[in-house]
């Protein structure tokens, strides 16, 4: 691995050490549900710095071979604890990552993802703890929560033991922009629809069948999909049905989602989907020959995650903005269309802003990250912690 020049160091952050930690982490396989090895390695590192650790029993519900990891770094200043969070799992192809560092930019060898999502966050947290410890800097209690199975439905956060967290606000590192804080994210409903028709021989007696795919197609054609407005999106992402070209399909399964920053809009768009599919089935029964209770439709709606809406004057926002200004940086308030562990935290009453590490082209084999960006975020966290430690009486 190329060594970064001394001139490139960011304040108290040791960029060479940060880069080495990141390299070490991405070389450990940790695709979703297989986080045990990396969790153990992180545990050893942080405990050597004086932190205490714990695991919850979420693995029984998430399907992971590890619980969520909790790191407690004791403070030397009497202020409220700060929460920092990220996730340990990666998407596929994430096994056998071979990181390459060229001109200060990490990439993989092109056959796998890099794993900057979200191991850049973990490397930054480790470097921040090391810097606090070796410089004896003032800081309050720090709680770091590293979740499992984030990439497969935020499972770790959804099943996390929240009794193990005392902090009421903090930050999740899980985005790109190093000069923005995401404080608004949508709620999402996951929708699964099964249309039941009647099978028949497609060549000999097609009129005796009820084509479930045709019914589903009519319903989907009647939906408004994509961006509904500036706060709401709707998507049909999966459809599966039929077993052969010479059989009228008797069943089709459709999966989709609705997201919105507005709860009423989320409900309306979800209700519209239910209404359209129901109307198609009822119209068929009125106009065509039905077969007993066929056709019919079954619809399951699950709230995937709640929305996030952190007020602009909340300490999560103002603290990050003060820290950025102190470093001569910008910190703009952002809204996103994606979900993250922060959504689940918000639903539990823990307000978190999502900060960026500089990771780019995530979930692809072109994923990359600049060491400078990771160092910039590490410096920002140090400054957040420093300012927070001075506000004990506020």
Which of the residues are catalytic? 89, 150
CA distance 47 to 72: 9
DSSP states along 173-207 = EEES-TTEEEEEE-EEEEEEEEEE-B--BTTT-GG
As given in the structure block, the two tokens for residue 370 are: 């600049």
Q: CB-based burial of residue 328 (10 Å sphere; 0-12 exposed, 13-18 middle, 19+ buried)?
A: exposed
Backbone angles phi, psi at 76, to 5 degrees: -115, 10
CA distance 50 to 377: 23
CA distance 175 to 152: 17
Strands 169-175 and 308-309: unpaired
Residues 6+ apart with CB under 8 A from 127: 13, 14, 17, 18, 21, 378
Backbone angles phi, psi at 370, to 5 degrees: -90, 135
3-class state of residue 336 by DSSP:
coil
């Amino acid at each position: 691995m190329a060594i970064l020049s001394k001139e490139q160091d960011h304040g108290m952050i040791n960029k060479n050490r940060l880069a080495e930690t990141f390299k070490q982490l991405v070389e450990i396989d940790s695709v979703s549900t297989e986080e045990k090895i990396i969790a153990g390695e992180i545990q050893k590192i942080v405990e050597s710095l004086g932190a205490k650790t714990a695991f919850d029993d979420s693995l029984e519900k998430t399907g992971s071979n590890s619980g969520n990891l909790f790191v407690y770094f004791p403070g030397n200043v009497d202020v409220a604890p700060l929460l920092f969070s990220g996730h340990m799992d990666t998407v596929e192809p994430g096994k056998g990552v071979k990181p390459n560092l060229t001109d200060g930019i990490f990439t993989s060898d092109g056959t796998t993802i890099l794993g900057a999502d979200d191991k850049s966050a973990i490397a930054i947290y480790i470097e921040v703890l090391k810097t606090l410890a070796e410089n004896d800097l003032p800081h309050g209690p720090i709680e770091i929560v590293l979740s499992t199975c984030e990439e497969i439905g935020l499972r770790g956060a959804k099943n996390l033991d929240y009794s193990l967290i005392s902090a009421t606000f903090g930050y999740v590192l899980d985005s790109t922009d190093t000069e923005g804080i995401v404080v608004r994210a949508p709620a999402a409903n996951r929708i699964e629809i099964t249309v039941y028709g009647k099978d028949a021989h497609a060549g000999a007696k097609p009129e005796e069948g009820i084509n479930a795919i045709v019914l589903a197609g009519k319903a989907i054609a009647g939906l408004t999909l994509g961006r509904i407005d500036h706060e709401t999106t709707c998507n049909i992402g999966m459809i599966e049905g039929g077993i052969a070209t010479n059989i009228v399909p008797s069943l089709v399964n459709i999966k989709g989602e609705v997201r919105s920053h507005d709860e009423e809009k989320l409900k309306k768009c979800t209700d519209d989907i239910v209404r359209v599919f129901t109307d198609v089935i009822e119209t068929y029964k009125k106009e065509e020959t039905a077969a007993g209770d066929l056709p019919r439709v079954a619809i399951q709606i699950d709230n995937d995650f709640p929305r996030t809406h952190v007020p602009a004057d909340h300490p999560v926002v103002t603290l990050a903005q003060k820290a950025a200004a102190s470093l001569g940086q910008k910190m703009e308030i952002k809204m996103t269309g994606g979900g993250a562990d922060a959504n689940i935290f918000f639903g539990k009453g823990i307000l978190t802003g999502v900060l960026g590490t500089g990771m780019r082209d995530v979930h692809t084999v072109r994923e990359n990250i600049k060491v400078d960006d990771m160092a910039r975020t590490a410096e920002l966290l140090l400054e957040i912690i420093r300012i927070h430690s001075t506000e004990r009486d506020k």
